[in-house]
Structure 1
Amino acid sequence: MLKLDVPFVPDEEYVDFLARNVERLTSVHFSLYDPALCDARQRMETHKPQSIIAGLNKLGSTQRFVLLNSRLHDPQRYFDAKHLTQAADRLTMLADEAGIQGLIFGDPYYLQALGDHAPQLAARLEAIPTVNAQLDSPGRVYAMLEMIRDTPFCPPSKLVLDRNLNRDFERLEPTVDALRRSLPDIKIHLIANEGCLHHCPYKPTHNAHIAMVNQKLCDDRTFDINREYGCIRRFLQHPESFLVSPFIRPEDMDHYAPYVDGIKLCGRNKGTKFLMTAFSAYANGQYDGNLLDIMDAMGDLSGHVHIHNERIPADFVHRVGRCQSNCSQCQYCNDIAESAVELLGVQIPEM
């Protein structure tokens, strides 16, 4: 069974849960909940750095990576020595007191600026591209690694390939084969439970909106925008889209074992009950219930839609793993959705 990279939050019950299951972990990723280190999710809560450090140190030798994966930053921050010093101080504290291996970044400009400002710190930390870098081919990977080499940061020990390769084995297989031959020391992961639209056309703008909110450049209307004009509207108007989404079911994890070294789970803003449920499902390779209960992005609709996981055919991954993504000409997911996807008819509220 593949090991898991999971979100970390310093909730005592969750920390104890991870400590009991540490043999199933390959790594954890976490937000510092700090304006000096912006990540790619809305700030739903805050935690003190010392509680984060204390929790991380209960996980033994598990690798830990801080999230610095905002899609963009206020451009002034690239040139703001005071801000860059604050960010470097936070990272130094995490390296000294929690033994972090590196950071997960989403803005290459910011990575270069931070590395130039604090080269000695950067030399201690790996720079790992966010999954939102859409590393879906060897060429994209090599271009990203060339950029990292021009910074003082250490090269990544792992890469999370683009989510859409989950449903495209004709590209996943040669991509992994090429990376294994050229980069044998780098571990390869896939993300399992984000649950975004397949080749989501809204995601780049959505990520930019979240970054703008976290930088206090605008108010947060991201949920309203998605409900009125984006993915929520699409999902509810086209229920088959839930099944087209490039998630990996817990039951299908073993199918990916020949290709990758680990599976990433997400959902750090959804609470510890969600995280423990998702972890248990993927650790056990099975989930009986509403599939949305263990999905991150689509999971926002779990009170309005029930996807009966037990009604999804056992050969599902074999069919969708080599899908041509031409949904208008294929009725496979439509046919499954008729029995597996149940709309509960509850109005989606304004946020």
Structure 2
Amino acid sequence: MRWLSVAHPGHMEALKEIIRAGNGNIYEVYTGGSPDCIGTARSGLGRTTTEDIREQVEYAHSHGIRMNIVLNSSCLGGRHLTQDGHNLYRWYLNVLNDIGVDSVTVAEPFLVEMIAKEFPDIDITVSCIAFVNSPQKAMYYEELGAETIALDININKNFPVLQNIREAVSCKLKVLVNEGCILDCPFRYAHFNLLSHANGPEPRPPLKYEYYQQRCATMRVKHPELLISSGWIRPEDVKEYEAIGIDLFKISGRIQSVNWITNCVRAYSAREYHGNLLELLDSTRELRRLFYLPNDALEGAIEKWKVCDKNCYKCGYCKRLSKEILVYSGRRTPNEELKPLNEYLVVE
């Protein structure tokens, strides 16, 4: 069974390497569309032309793999409800349909319903940044026409909610396995809205600096337990989600290097990883250099998270775990062994 949804930077050589690394487990690859038509919630890597996409669709199909184009701006500036905007989106979706794209990922409810009605040959995936986090919201999107829903990462470790959603809908459910955002991040909505405009049609804001990413990274350095309470899923724990009916597992990171993506694909395909879990997470490079989170030391933690009520201020499990296993490497000398975090820092 194919069960991986894999980030794809958008060029043919990357696609070939990703498919080789997938070992027959890749269900689909996903990549961004044209920012001149509709933006995405990630920074762009350059422009992928229609002919590039056509060639890559054909190559993916020859290996039994689907192609998903990400059009998941969280904010369209109202353009989708104008005649010009509607005409532009209809034109672009016609182009994608003609070249054989299998599915698109969108976050805007209007686009879900429009595509379902006007483009029945294109499957619709509701983006994780639609923040589907309840059975009710999942049911709304399924009724609008969603074939797949990528769930809000904030419920990745909330098994009662995941199970309730699974019981409420018949569409496919997808979870992100390696996104490194902090749990219930206060910046997440604003950050995705910013990226939607920065990586969408003109005019694009000339950003001075990436406030949200820098602030989020600073919080994790100050409170290292946030690295553990995040919504990632270890390769070894995928089976726990399959057991409750999750269909697809999405590897995030299409703006990362190809080598990084294929390393993640191999780890999740093998369902095991020995090393720094942060190396698999789609987060800032600085955090990977600063901390070492031994994946093997997390074995069994899923049993706690499966029954956790997510009241972190009362529980303290992730905070205790961070003191026990998280290693701080920022002050290493060539002859210094890595030591637990609490030997370097005071974690209040």
Residue 304 of structure 1 pairs with residue 311 of structure 2: no
SS at match of 2:59: coil
SS at match of 2:321: helix
**Compared with structure 1, are the counterparts of its residues 161 and 88 closer, same or farther at alpha carbon in structure 2 (3 Å cutoff)?**
same
Q: Deviations over 1:124-180 (max 9, x none)?
A: 32332111112222211122234x2xxxxxx2322222222221112222221232x
**Compared with structure 1, are the counterparts of its residues 13 and 6 closer, same or farther at alpha carbon in structure 2 (3 Å cutoff)?**
same
State how far apart, in whole Å, the 2-side matches of 1:77 and 1:187 are: 26
CA contact (8 A) 2:174 2:248 kept: yes
State how far apart, in whole Å, the 1-side matches of 2:39 and 2:86 are: 12
Query: Residue type matched to 2:127 in 1?
Result: T
Residue 93 of structure 1 pairs with residue 90 of structure 2: no
CA drift of 1:322 comes to 2.0
Query: Please, which of 112, 137, 140 is the counterpart of residue 140 of structure 1?
Result: 137
Aligned counterparts, 1:312-331, within 5 A: 312=298, 314-331=299-316
Residue 270 (structure 1) aligns with:
256
**Compared with structure 1, are the counterparts of its residues 261 and 192 closer, same or farther at alpha carbon in structure 2 (3 Å cutoff)?**
same
SS at match of 1:57: helix
Residue 339 (structure 2) aligns with:
none
| RMSD of Structure 2 on Structure 1 (CA) | 2.5
CA drift of 1:47 comes to 2.8
**Compared with structure 1, are the counterparts of its residues 299 and 321 closer, same or farther at alpha carbon in structure 2 (3 Å cutoff)?**
farther
State how far apart, in whole Å, the 1-side matches of 2:192 and 2:212 are: 12
CA contact (8 A) 2:124 2:146 kept: yes
Aligned counterparts, 1:1-351, within 5 A: 3-20=3-20, 21=22, 23-60=24-61, 61-76=64-79, 78-81=81-84, 83-97=85-99, 99-109=100-110, 120=118, 122-146=119-143, 148=144, 155-179=145-169, 183=170, 186-215=171-200, 216-221=203-208, 223-227=210-214, 230-259=215-244, 260-297=246-283, 301-312=287-298, 314-345=299-330
SS at match of 2:6: strand
Residue correspondences, number: 325
State how far apart, in whole Å, the 1-side matches of 2:209 and 2:139 are: 33
Query: Residue type matched to 2:140 in 1?
Result: A
Query: Residue type matched to 1:174 in 2?
Result: N
Q: Which runs of 5+ in 2 are unaligned?
A: 332-348
State how far apart, in whole Å, the 1-side matches of 2:261 and 2:328 are: 24
CA drift of 1:300 comes to 5.7
State how far apart, in whole Å, the 2-side matches of 1:225 and 1:53 are: 35
State how far apart, in whole Å, the 2-side matches of 1:214 and 1:19 are: 27
CA drift of 1:275 comes to 0.9
CA contact (8 A) 1:235 1:242 kept: yes
State how far apart, in whole Å, the 2-side matches of 1:48 and 1:293 are: 31
CA contact (8 A) 2:180 2:283 kept: yes
Higher mean displacement: 333-342 or 316-325: 333-342
Normalised by the length of structure 2, the TM-score is: 0.84
State how far apart, in whole Å, the 1-side matches of 2:330 and 2:320 are: 20
Q: Deviations over 1:222-276 (max 9, x none)?
A: 633432xx31121010001100001101111111111211211111011211110
CA drift of 1:115 comes to 5.4
Query: Residue type matched to 2:207 in 1?
Result: D
